[in-house]
Chain A
Amino acid sequence: MRRIIWERIEGFLFPQESDTWLTVLRLGAALQVILYCSTTRAEWHETFSMQSVGPIRRDLSEAVLSAQSHFIPRMGWLVDAGARIGLGEGLVLEIIWWALLIAGISLLVGLFCRASAIVAAFLHLCAVKSSGALSYGVDIFTIVGLFYVAVAPLPDSFSLDRHFRQLKPKYAELNGFFRRALQVHVCLIYFFSGIAKCAGVGWWNGESIWRAVIRPPFNMISPSILIHWKFFFPIASISVCILETAYPIFIWPRRTRVIWLCSVVAMHIGIAAFLGMYLFALIMIILNLAAFGPPFRWRQDAGVNVVAEQGIA
């Protein structure tokens, strides 16, 4: 009996899994890093320089971090390290930005996957933690994505490392384990996000959705237009509560997985369209597809490469 239980636990934790989920996650996380670099470029020095005249300086954020632990990665470490070899703060910050961008591009094409993933995850974490209050949901979920890319068995089948450098992952049999960990993590994200929303009155009568879409700076569409759809708000907000809270229940069975996955992706597309949170929507869709999306394979068919669906795992 104990053996059967152990085999079931083992079967759940270490399933046989292809690495296509990792390809999706690697591409998505790398894209997010590149977009993070491009969207923060204009204010990079203002955000992280101690000589900055910008609205928020990193010393405040890093002081808050130190109250939690002195070992949480931060930009201050890198700036101090640069100072020890005679590099000025501005130059170090410039090097960090370029290093993050290059790591993102390298991760996107799949070259030096492991090193790129670790560098991107570490530098991105430093930047997000040191920018403190300036970070929001998209940064948190990019950290989640980069963490799993950095620890999973790289390189994946679609990387340049595999095709041009002929490298193979050392522990490919752990692909299933890391995907399982990501799946459980995504379930926790939705469940706790959903349960917290369910506790609010506004999520049951539609007022929360209304407030979210008319609230500056997320007010992409005029309230005068949106008010004509007021009957839809309660339906939408209750749907959000159900989709998120019941995610861990309905995303696992094959019968309901496609419906739930498509619904959640549609919800995130809606967030992008109505709240203008494109990057947030993108990373959430990537996490969903990596965790529960169908696997696919690259097939040579009459000399033409096609992506073939293998169905839901």
Chain B
Amino acid sequence: MLISLACFRATFSIFAQSATIFPSSLQNIWRRAAEIVTAGVGQHLAPSNPLGNAIVVYLHAVGSEGGYGFFAPEVPDSLTLVFEIHFPDGRVEYDLPSVRSVAAGLRFNGVLEQINATKYEPLRQMILKILTYSVLQRYPNASHIRAIFTVAILPSTREFAAGREISYETLSAYDLTFAEQSTEPRD
């Protein structure tokens, strides 16, 4: 029962937030439905409420807290994060977030999707700053680092047949100057 409700919540949220085959006028209804179901799984209860906590822990323990809407309603664009490392002598180097295995690369892809899904700018900047900080450890002499968040624009079958390849578009760039510990978004 709880698993069903968690699945309904996730599905309604997907419908409410994404473009689907349903009319956009229904999005408020999906949103409202998601809110009702959210209440049904105890999410409206106070953080200290034992029942609410028990439900959340149970859903996490059975792997159902987020629903199962993988690759839905559409397959998302592919995201990349590139670091532009600037040195005091004017030299510039490029680097990617380091992972040591193919499996870790697949896992890191989820991090990028989560950053992209984060609409709250301060949180998005904080995540990027943490990621950039890991690069700074490898380049301690860098004066500043620019984190460039790009999206791979995937051509449709028709476009690819007509000669269009995968292209990359910058979504946002963040300058991180570590002497001042500040971030400045540059969209």
Q: Which residues of A contact B (CB under 8 A)?
A: 39-40, 42-43, 52-57, 60, 68-73, 121, 125, 129, 131, 133-137, 140-144, 147, 185, 188-193, 195-204, 206-208, 210-212, 214-218, 223, 227, 230, 233, 276-277, 279
**Contact A192 B106, beta carbon cutoff 8 Å:** no
Q: In the complex the two chains form, is B73's CB within 8 Å of A56's CB?
A: no
Q: Of residues 44 to 76 in B, which have CB atoms within 8 Å of A's CB atoms?
A: 47, 52-53, 56-57, 60-75
Number of A-B contacts (CB under 8 A): 189
Partner of B106, one of A142, A217, A227: A217
A-B contact list, 10 entries, CB within 8 Å = A42-B104, A197-B73, A199-B20, A200-B73, A200-B74, A201-B19, A201-B74, A204-B21, A216-B166, A223-B160
Known contacts A136-B110, A140-B66, A207-B157: A69-B72 contact under CB 8 Å: no
Centre residue among B14, B64, B98, B103 by max chain A CB count within 10 A? B103
What number of B residues sit within 8 Å (CB to CB) of A? 67
Contact B63 A147 (CB under 8 A): yes
Q: Of A125, A147, A196, which is within 8 A of B69 by CB?
A: A196
The 3 A-B residue pairs with the shortest CB-CB distance, nearest first, are A200-B73, A196-B72, A143-B63
Secondary structure dominating the interface of A? helix
Q: Which residues of B contact A134 (CB under 8 A)?
A: 104, 107-108, 110-111
A70 to chain B minimum Cβ distance, whole angstroms, is: 8
Once bound together, how far apart are the Cα atoms of A191 and B68, in whole Å? 9
Starting from the known contacts A68-B65, A196-B73, A227-B160, 6 additional A-B residue pairs (CB-CB under 8 Å) come to A70-B53, A193-B70, A196-B72, A199-B73, A201-B20, A216-B152
Q: Is the CB of B63 within 8 A of A141?
A: yes
Q: Would you call A42 and B101 a contact (CB within 8 A)?
A: yes
Q: How far is the CA of A129 from the CA of B56 in the complex (A)?
A: 13
Q: Which chain A residues border B152 with CB–CB below 8 Å?
A: 215-216
A199 to B74, CA, bound (A): 8
User: What's the Cα separation between A233 and B70 when bound, in Å?
Assistant: 18
B128-186 contacts to A, CB under 8 A, are: 130-131, 133-134, 137-138, 152, 154, 156-157, 160-161, 166
Q: Which residues of B contact A73 (CB under 8 A)?
A: 57, 60-61
Q: Known: A196-B69, A215-B152. Contact between A208 and B75, CB under 8 A?
A: yes
Query: Which chain A positions have C-beta within 8 A of B102?
Result: 276
Q: B99 an interface residue at 8 Å Cβ cutoff? A: yes
Query: Which of B3, B20, B70, B134 is A53 in contact with, Cβ under 8 Å?
Result: B134
* Residues of B with C-beta under 8 A to A40: 103-104
Cross-chain contact A60 with B130 (CB below 8 angstroms): yes
Q: Does B28 reach chain A (CB closer than 8 Å)? A: no
A60 near B110 with CB under 8 A, answer no
B7 in the interface, Cβ–Cβ < 8 Å? yes
CB < 8 Å neighbour of A56 from B62, B71, B130 = B130
